[in-house]
Structure 1
């Protein structure tokens, strides 16, 4: 290599390193929430238009809040609805987690979600007779995917992927960044996160896990900090979405076996996995299962790691963490 070539190579390397000092940040709104994406790119490409379109297409597939989305058309029993790759991925993951949690996670709980006032539908007056009538068409065994079409055993069956769709959208955006050869990034949508690689300075991407304090409007103080590298985290809790009726708090997590919101001492479940769709779906399932069943579940699923926050008999916070995250997690000061 001659001197001029060496100088050119060094100048190119310096340009790349300098360019990577300043991250590109993309923020916006989607799925009724916010998203924040940060990545380092040697050529400073801004992918915001592409990401906006990806999230729009995603909502048109699986958002129950959009009347003409694929899932809404299926729920209203429109004929000859052809599902897309987003819907298929959600359906297959839902079926997997439904089986693994023995029905604690079930996306056909949607009519109950609406009845309790946690969906786009109008809240209904809750009484046992009403719940029992809805339970007759709640069950993931009542619906199946054949090719690119949905087959229902009961036309009243409806689907709701909102319990883990945000996690999957994190994976979708991450896959896009991977396709663009971005090797250092963090994607957060509605609090669900995936982080790839390290920052150019060698430091880890760090996220916080909130204290499970009832709060619908703003962020809570942090309970723990986690370093992420090629890892996803999703947290499901009963402190963000709830209603209070006649002095009683009802969480938005509905037990598909009883038809009523879950009541147990597990306040928050943060699940770590290689894909955020798995983190998000299983976090929801474990919150329905409760603490002791969640521990048993995690013992038989080593591909998942967890940080659980629960209340003891005196109402104090206690935590349970799996062995695989002890090196990346620390309690917040």
Structure 2
């Protein structure tokens, strides 16, 4: 078995396939032979959602789909920064003081603030003003990057460390604009997965905009395998080893700039991932960061935090916390990879 190196970044020779098999997976019942995989899908949070499931004798697919849509609609009504009527947008527009919100929003924000504190502000849920300034928010794209003065003004606004959270209300210090894009989809994946498990659907794969969680196995005794999208180098061509991950009781999320970016005046790629500490896009040294975690919400937010921490501080920060992460670095026109020890222990290349 060949393992990924957890040490300094190493360029890999092309390999047909890398498999990541998480350890300590919970026991799973084998569905009856011949039970088909049912697929449900739709739109939410500005992206797609998709569920694959095996449910012999379980609730009808139409009933499950209605339940999934209801869960996703509730999360949008609570956490969308695009819907002016959402709890989050009401908070953003509120003057200084306490704002009553849905309890789910308060719980997610509490987790977001803990990651912000642990990462030294590399992740900041109060980044809404900067996101809009760079053209990645509800106001839409901008013709040119913002001025240094505009960035400085956004950085001078209250930040994450001035927010307070109680079970059903949030403290608005005045001027804070939340953006939970880096954690809400992962939270939604977890919520849908719990809903399915609670209804006896013990074999399912949930995917919302590329954030995934799997549970159980299929009738051929295989877990839910997912293949990571290959990131692109500075030459625009995809590269890196093709990677497949077995998801049973695990989630995976990736942060990268291969699809969403802004072109600077010099023709350089400006990532949609902003560094809340500088107010500017992160350098394009990192093509992608993938995190494997039991909770999709944590995989989602940690992938963003690690992207901002970058190719040097990020792997060390993740390794110190036992985080399973794969960093794909741009070196010249090619790509290189670095895995944390926790992920390297699970990987084998064939």
Give the TM interval when normalised to the shorter protein: 0.7 to 0.9
| Equivalent residue in structure 2 for 1:209, among 212, 228, 251 | 228
Q: How does 1:61-72 map to 2 (within 5 A)?
A: 61-72=78-89
CA contact (8 A) 1:266 1:290 kept: yes
| Equivalent residue in structure 1 for 2:163, among 143, 146, 151 | 143
Q: 1:173 & 1:297 partners in 2: Cα distance?
A: 30
Q: Which residue of 2 aligns with 1:93?
A: 111
Q: 2:191 & 2:253 partners in 1: Cα distance?
A: 15
CA contact (8 A) 2:233 2:287 kept: no
Q: How does 1:238-317 map to 2 (within 5 A)?
A: 238-246=257-265, 247-302=267-322, 304-312=323-331, 314-317=332-335
- Any unmatched runs of 5+ in structure 1? 1-15
**TM-score scaled by structure 1?**
0.87
- Any unmatched runs of 5+ in structure 2? 1-30
What displacement does 1:17 show? 2.0
1:288-325 CA-partner distances (Å, limit 9, x unpaired): 010111111112111x211111112x332111123433
Change (3 A) 1:257 1:327: closer
Q: 2:98 & 2:298 partners in 1: Cα distance?
A: 29
Q: Which residue of 2 aligns with 1:10?
A: none
Q: How does 1:140-219 map to 2 (within 5 A)?
A: 140-153=160-173, 155-213=174-232
Q: How does 1:97-112 map to 2 (within 5 A)?
A: 97-112=115-130
Q: 1:220 & 1:82 partners in 2: Cα distance?
A: 47
Change (3 A) 1:238 1:139: same
Larger radius of gyration: 1
Q: Which residue of 2 aligns with 1:40?
A: 54
What displacement does 1:31 show? 0.6
Q: 1:220 & 1:169 partners in 2: Cα distance?
A: 30
Change (3 A) 1:296 1:323: closer
CA contact (8 A) 2:35 2:56 kept: no
Where 1:270 maps in the other structure, the secondary structure is: strand
CA contact (8 A) 1:115 1:123 kept: no
What displacement does 1:198 show? 1.6
What displacement does 1:123 show? 5.0
Q: 1:330 & 1:89 partners in 2: Cα distance?
A: 37
| Equivalent residue in structure 2 for 1:27, among 34, 41, 48 | 41
**TM-score scaled by structure 2?**
0.83
Where 1:210 maps in the other structure, the secondary structure is: coil
1:210-248 CA-partner distances (Å, limit 9, x unpaired): 121289xxx999831112221000000011211113223
What displacement does 1:282 show? 0.4
Q: 1:171 & 1:164 partners in 2: Cα distance?
A: 11
| Equivalent residue in structure 2 for 1:17, among 22, 32, 39 | 32
Deviates more, 1:270-279 or 1:45-54: 45-54
